[in-house]
Amino acid sequence: SDIGLQRDRVVTEEEWLHKWEMGDIGFHKEQRHPLLQQYLDVLLNGRSGLRIFFPLCGKAVEMKWLADLGHSVVGVEVSEEALKEFFAEHSLPYSEEPVPEIPGAKVLQSTSGDISLYCCSIYDLSSSIVGQFDAVWDRGALVAVNPCDRQRYVSLMITLMDKNSSYLLVTVSYDPNKHKGPPFYVPESEIKSLFG
């Protein structure tokens, strides 16, 4: 699959942090994503009280919505600012704890206990730290991951998924020679080869 000029593109953690600091977050949506609303039944598959993972969560409004529906939400995001904005914008009290297994990382947890957001690189997480999940909502993670890191990302995601897990993935389709990304173009053929 040809992803054009994007093949060697790398966006650093510092660049993502700078986007949050500068408010350059056009990728953040103030409303629930229509595809999550449309396919929620597919994601839940008749189950309630699920553990749902939000990779590269930012301050996604869907986290509170799903927690309000009775699910347990776990997210990961490198920007502490994004996570604090999430709790502030939803008027949710929270506590902060260090994550002993990851130097410098912390977890921000709602006092109700149904939302836990890890502030660290996603690649520092493992199932021994966060457990496994019944569902994954990947609205902007795979398309934000550097093309050279996709295999590493998907390998991690597979280890975080319970055997009956549902994975709802949103990608974007466009000519990768006309836009440097992110969001990066991920052809369907590559999604199939990555996830099997």
The binding site for S-adenosyl-L-methionine consists of 16-27, 56, 77, 121-122, 139
Q: Is 98 left (phi over 0), alpha (psi -120 to 50) or beta?
A: beta
Residue 140 burial by CB count (10 A; 0-12/13-18/19+): exposed, middle or buried? buried
160 Cβ neighbours under 8 A, 6+ residues apart: 53, 125, 127, 130, 132, 133, 136
HSE-CB at 143 with a 13 A cutoff on CA atoms is: 23
* Rounded Cα distance, 109 and 117, in Å: 6
CA 136, 162, 99, 183 torsion-angle sign:
negative
CB 61, CB 139: distance < 8 Å: no
Question: How distant, in Å, are the alpha carbons of 13, 41, 62 from that of 79?
Answer: 9, 30, 18
Structure tokens at 18: 């700078």
Between CA 69 and CA 135 the distance in angstroms is 14
Annotated binding site: 16-27, 56, 77, 121-122, 139
